[in-house]
Every structure is written in structure tokens, then in C-alpha cells.
């Protein structure tokens, strides 16, 4: 799967035996879970701004204030303001309202014997949820709004520019990425401008402005909500762009891979009849697939990572996919919900510290809904993988097609 995604980089990194190693033209690569976590937690020495960092890559496209290219007090303040939009009860309800009926239909289609491509299903579902969350569409207005599949294609066109060996986009890539995002966020921007800033504008979240599960806003009120939360128009649109970029490909990678693993190992059948180990199975799936496979940091001040001395300006490549797979041991550990080596990793697949994935509750809500829908089908009509194809030439390994069908 990883070789298909990138025939050079993943095999090169996978061969690294040492926990920290300097690789010319790539950076200082960290493959050990404990060291990787210590880098993430030390925001004084290692930052997401500076040479070779995510800021170098994303600021020209998304602007300077989109969490994933910020550090320190400004980052914390913006995160606090956005946090209510990701509160678990709120995103659970938003997810259920947006894709609940489609996932119920998915169960029935599988039980009826239909061959279903789970990659297409998850593209559609993840695209719809993120569109709803950030207000990419106006309610009842399909005009120019991409469906989940098309949204995914546009997002991939932007993230497809990312190369580990190239720390910045070219000017032409920046122009193209900005055009794609400007077009996608057209309605969100209009909704932001139309919104009445209200009496609490600029003061951050309050009990009055915090969305609650029973008041999931209509699609076009989310930018308004961001305005109420005190975000400037640029911050709000940057956040919209960042959410769209981070919130789709990870799930489109994870869910089909997870379903293939469950089918291949016999766990699909087992969990269908007894879901007590569903939590550990989801975590183990996240550990062995690591949908955000690599994180980047720039060294802000001379420091050490394990035995390796690093200098200000060095680029750190945190190979989370290897750290998770090895889970603190020297060797790759297979998917095993019973032994559950994931339990010791404190969700390293979602990062750690100040930048821990803000969208984790939203990801978990979608994962739970889709997996349970397939498990419900499996319980009534045992399923098999009827076809699969790995996605080629991509940053995040995954399938381009994974077809499930009831066994004859």
C-alpha cells in the first residue's frame, strides 16, 4: 500500500533502523514513538513555523493564521475559539444528522447484495460532513457546490502538490491552490459577510455562543458562528480551508483500509457479533494505518533529539507511521485488538501536545457511524472484499477502490 502511494519515500523511510537519523535532502528523521512525542511536546525547541516547517508550505496558500502554521499564545487563543465547533456532543449530532440516513442505507444496500465501493462512500460522507461543518454550501442551494466526490478531487489536487523532498510550493502551485480554495469557500465567505456579528463579537466563546448538540446550525450559519466566536474574516476562511484540507483525506485513507484489515483478519465477523473490542480495534487500525503518516517541525534552537544534535533551521521529519507500527519495540507489530499495543501510544496517530488533532472527535464520530453500519450488514449477510486497488502517487496511502459485497 505504501509502495503504491510513493515508491521511493515510504520504502526509504521504512528501512531506517535507527530512532533518529539525518537523511540528506529530507531532514532529520525520527522513527521512535517516545522521541517523537518528546519533540511534539517541546514547542520551544521545535516549531511548526520556520524553515522546512508546515508554515513554509501552507502559509502562502492558507494565510498566516490557520493553527497548523502557528505557535504560542496566538495559536492557543485561536484554538480555544475554534474548540466549541469540535465539541464531541456537537460533532456527534452534526455527523448523525448529515450522514446518518446514508449510513443506514449503506447497511441495507450491502444486505441486499449490492457491491459497494467503500472509497466512494467515504469520500462522499467525509465531504458532506466537512461541507456542513464549515458552511461550504447554502441550505437548499446546490449552485456550484461540489458533491463529496468532487470536493475530494479538488482537495487532492491541492495536497497532491506536497512532496517531502520539496519544503515549499512553487508560485504556480500556490496560485492554483488559492484558486481552488477561493472557489470552495465562496459561500462560506458570503455567509460570513452576511452574518450579524452580534453583541459577543471579538470576545471569544461564551456560554451563549457555544454550539450545543440540539442546536446544530444550518449549513450556512457556521461561518456566522465563527464570526460570533470572534474570528476575523481571514481567520475564518483560513480555518475553513485548513479544515477542508485536513478533514477528508485522512478518513478516506483510514476507513477503507480499516475495513480491508477487518475483512482480511476475520475481525469483521467477530466484531459484527460482539462489539466489546470495537474501541481497541479502531485504535489498532489507526495505529497500523496512521492516516497522517508524517509530521514536520523546524528546529528553533540548537537541541538534541535522542543521540543526534540538531541545529536551528534543521528540518525534522517525524515518521509517525513507523513509530506507531513499531509501538516502542524495534519491529513492526501487526493489527491485534486483543494485545492492543495501541493502548500505550496515547493516540500518537492524532499527534500530541499543542497541535493534537482538533478534528479528532469529528473523525471518531464518522469512524463509529460508518464501521457500525458495515458491521450491522456483516451481522445479517457476511461480507467479503470483492475488489481492491491501491491509490498510486499520493501523500497519504490508501485505496482508490475497495468493494465489499455479501458472500454468495
The site for ligand HEM (CB under 6 A) is made up of 67-68, 79, 242-243, 246-247, 250-251, 254, 291-292, 295, 349-351, 355, 357-359, 362-363
27-57 burial, b at 16+ Cβ within 10 Å, e below that, comes to: bbbbbbbebbbbbbebbebbbbbbebbbbbb
Q: How far is the CB of 350 from ligand HEM (least distance, A)?
A: 5
Q: How far is the CB of 17 from ligand HEM (least distance, A)?
A: 24
Q: How far is the CB of 177 from ligand HEM (least distance, A)?
A: 17
- Which is closer to ligand HEM, CB of 151 or CB of 242? 242
Are 315 and 296 in contact, with CB atoms under 8 Å apart? yes
Question: Residues 159, 283, 384, CA angle at the centre, nearest 5°?
Answer: 85
- Which is closer to ligand HEM, CB of 59 or CB of 109? 59
Q: Using CB atoms, what's the residue nearest to ligand HEM?
A: 359
The packing angle between helices 171-184 and 54-62, to 10°, is 50
- Which is closer to ligand HEM, CB of 109 or CB of 148? 148
- Which is closer to ligand HEM, CB of 239 or CB of 404? 239
Q: How far is the CB of 31 from ligand HEM (least distance, A)?
A: 15
Q: In what order do the strands lie in the sheet with 315-318?
A: 20-23, 27-30, 315-318, 295-299, 46-47
Between the CA of residue 193 and those of 72, 136, 408, what are the distances in Å?
A: 29, 14, 55
- Which is closer to ligand HEM, CB of 192 or CB of 243? 243
Q: How far is the CB of 389 from ligand HEM (least distance, A)?
A: 21
φ/ψ (deg, to 5) at 30: -110, 125
Q: How far is the CB of 99 from ligand HEM (least distance, A)?
A: 13
- Which is closer to ligand HEM, CB of 303 or CB of 406? 303
- The CA R_g of the chain, rounded to the nearest whole Å, is 21
Alpha carbon 249 to chain centroid distance?
6
Amino acid at each position: 500500500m505504501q509502495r503504491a502511494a510513493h515508491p521511493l519515500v515510504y520504502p526509504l523511510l521504512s528501512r531506517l533502523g535507527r530512532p533518529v537519523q539525518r537523511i540528506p535532502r529530507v531532514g532529520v528523521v525520527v522513527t521512535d514513538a517516545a522521541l517523537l512525542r518528546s519533540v511534539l511536546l517541546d514547542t520551544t525547541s521545535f516549531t511548526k513555523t520556520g524553515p522546512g516547517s508546515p508554515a513554509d508550505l501552507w502559509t502562502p496558500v492558507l494565510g498566516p493564521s490557520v493553527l497548523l502554521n502557528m505557535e504560542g499564545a496566538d495559536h492557543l487563543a485561536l484554538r480555544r475559539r475554534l474548540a466549541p465547533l469540535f465539541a464531541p456532543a456537537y460533532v456527534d449530532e452534526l455527523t448523525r444528522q448529515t450522514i446518518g440516513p446514508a449510513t443506514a442505507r449503506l447497511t441495507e444496500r450491502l444486505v441486499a447484495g449490492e457491491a459497494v465501493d467503500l472509497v466512494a462512500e467515504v469520500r462522499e460522507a467525509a465531504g458532506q460532513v466537512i461541507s456542513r461543518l464549515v458552511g461550504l454550501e447554502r441550505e437548499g442551494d446546490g449552485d456550484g457546490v461540489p458533491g463529496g466526490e468532487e470536493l475530494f478531487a479538488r482537495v487532492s489536487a491541492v495536497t497532491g502538490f506536497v512532496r517531502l523532498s520539496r519544503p515549499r510550493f512553487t508560485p504556480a502551485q500556490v496560485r492554483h491552490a488559492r484558486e481552488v480554495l477561493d472557489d470552495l469557500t465562496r459561500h462560506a465567505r458570503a455567509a460570513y459577510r452576511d452574518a450579524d456579528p452580534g453583541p459577543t463579537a471579538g470576545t471569544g466563546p461564551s456560554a451563549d455562543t457555544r454550539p450545543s448538540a440540539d442546536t446544530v446550525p444550518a449549513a450556512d450559519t457556521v461561518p456566522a458562528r465563527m464570526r460570533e466566536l470572534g474570528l476575523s474574516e481571514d481567520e475564518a476562511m483560513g480555518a475553513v480551508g485548513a479544515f477542508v484540507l485536513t478533514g477528508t483525506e485522512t478518513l478516506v485513507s483510514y476507513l477503507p483500509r480499516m475495513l480491508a484489515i477487518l475483512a482480511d483478519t476475520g475481525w469483521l465477523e467477530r466484531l459484527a457479533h460482539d462489539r466489546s473490542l470495537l474501541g481497541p480495534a479502531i485504535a489498532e487500525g489507526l495505529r497500523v494505518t496512521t492516516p497522517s503518516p508524517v509530521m514536520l517541525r523546524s528546529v528553533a534552537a540548537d537541541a538534541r533529539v535522542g543521540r543526534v544534535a540538531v541545529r536551528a533551521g534543521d528540518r525534522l521529519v517525524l515518521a509517525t507511521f513507523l513509530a506507531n507500527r513499531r509501538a516502542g519495540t524495534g519491529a513492526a507489530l501487526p493489527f491485534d485488538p486483543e494485545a492492543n499495543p495501541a493502548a500505550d501510544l496515547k493516540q500518537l496517530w492524532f499527534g500530541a501536545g499543542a497541535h493534537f488533532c482538533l478534528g479528532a472527535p469529528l473523525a471518531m464520530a464518522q469512524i463509529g457511524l460508518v464501521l457500525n453500519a458495515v458491521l450491522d450488514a456483516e451481522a445479517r449477510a457476511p461480507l467479503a472484499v470483492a475488489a481492491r486497488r491501491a491509490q498510486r502517487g499520493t501523500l497519504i496511502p490508501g485505496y482508490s477502490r475497495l468493494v465489499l459485497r455479501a458472500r454468495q
